[in-house]
Amino acid sequence: MSKRIVTLWIAGICAALALVAVATILVRSPEKSSTAQAQTSTTLQPGLSGVSVQGIGTVLVKPDVVKLTVGVEERATTVTEAQKQAATKLEAITTAVKDLGVKPEDIATLSYNIRPNYVYNNQQSPRLDGYIVNSQLSLTIRDIPKAGAIIDAAGNAGANLAGGISFTLDNNTEAVKQARQAAMVDAKSRAEQLAQAGGFGLGGVVNVTEFGGNAPLAVVQTGRTDAVAAAPVAASTVIEGGQFRVVVNVQVIYAIK
C-alpha cells in the first residue's frame, strides 16, 4: 500500500512539472513574436539617411507694367456742386489717359469719398463750410516709358492727386523658371561642400520642397518714383522702373552613399 502511494505521489509531481513547462513555453512565445516584428521594422531605417540643404535662386529682371493712382479733390458749398466739379475733371482725365494708350479695362475707380468741411475758430463751435469730394482712379500702364507723359496729361486735365506707384511683371513665368534652376544649382553646390567636409558620398535627389509659392517679387529701387507727388507739374515727369529681384527658395534632400 505504501509503495502505491509513493508511486502516485511521484506521478503527480511529474505531471505538475510538465504543466509548468508547457505554461513557460506559452508565456514566452509572444516574446519571440515581438522580437521578430522589431527586427523587421528596423530593417527599413537605413534607407532614410540623407543630407538636407537649402538653395536660393535670384534673377534680376526689368518690370514691364506700372500701376499708379490719379484723382481729384474738389470743394464746394453743396455736395451736388462738389460732385459735378469732380465728375467733370475725372471725365477729362479719363479721356486724356486713353488718348495716350491706356485701355479702358486698365482704368478703375479706386475710391470715392464725400465729407463735410468744418472750420474751427478758437473755442467756438465748428462751422460747416461746404463739402469735399475725393475720387481716385487706378491706372495700369503697360508701356512704362509713357508713364511720365500720362501723369502729365492727367495733371493738365485737372488731376490734383497722384501717387501709389508700383511696378510689376505682366508674366513672371520665365523669370521664376530661371530662379528655380539657379536655386537647384545652389542647393547641389552646398550639398557637395557638406559631403566633402563630412567625408561621405552624395547620392541622388530624394525630395524637393519649394518655399514662397509664386516667388514674390521685390523691387530694387534704382529710379525716381517720387516724381508724381503732385500734379500738374512744370517739367516732364520721369518714371523709371528699375529692376525686380525674383527669388525662389528650395529645400533639397540628397541620399548619402
Neighbouring residues of 66: CB distance < 8 A, sequence distance ≥ 6: 140, 141, 144, 147, 165, 166, 167, 168, 239, 241
Please state the φ and ψ torsions of residue 171, each to the nearest 5 degrees. -145, 115
CA atoms of 242 and 63, how far apart (whole Å): 7
Low-confidence ranges of the chain (pLDDT < 50): 1-11, 13, 15-47, 213, 215-234
Q: What is the pLDDT of residue 220?
A: 41
- The pLDDT of residue 236: 79
Residue among 58, 247, 59, 67 at smallest CA distance from 167:
67
Kindly state the cell numbers that stand for 115: 465729407
pTM, to two decimals: 0.63
Instruction: Give the model's pLDDT for residue 69.
Output: 97
All three cell numbers of 18: 510538465
Burial class of residue 45, CB neighbours in 10 A (0-12, 13-18, 19+): exposed
Q: CA-to-CA distance for 145 and 27, rounded, in angstroms?
A: 87
Q: How far apart are CA 3 and CA 236, in angstroms?
A: 132
DSSP character for 64? Answer: -
Give the per-residue pLDDT at 12.
53
pLDDT of residue 24: 37
> Residue holding cell 507739374?
233
In which residue are the cell numbers 528655380 written? 180
What integer pLDDT is reported at residue 39 of this predicted model?
Answer: 27
The three cell numbers locating residue 193: 561642400
* pLDDT value for 23: 38
What pLDDT score does 235 carry? 60
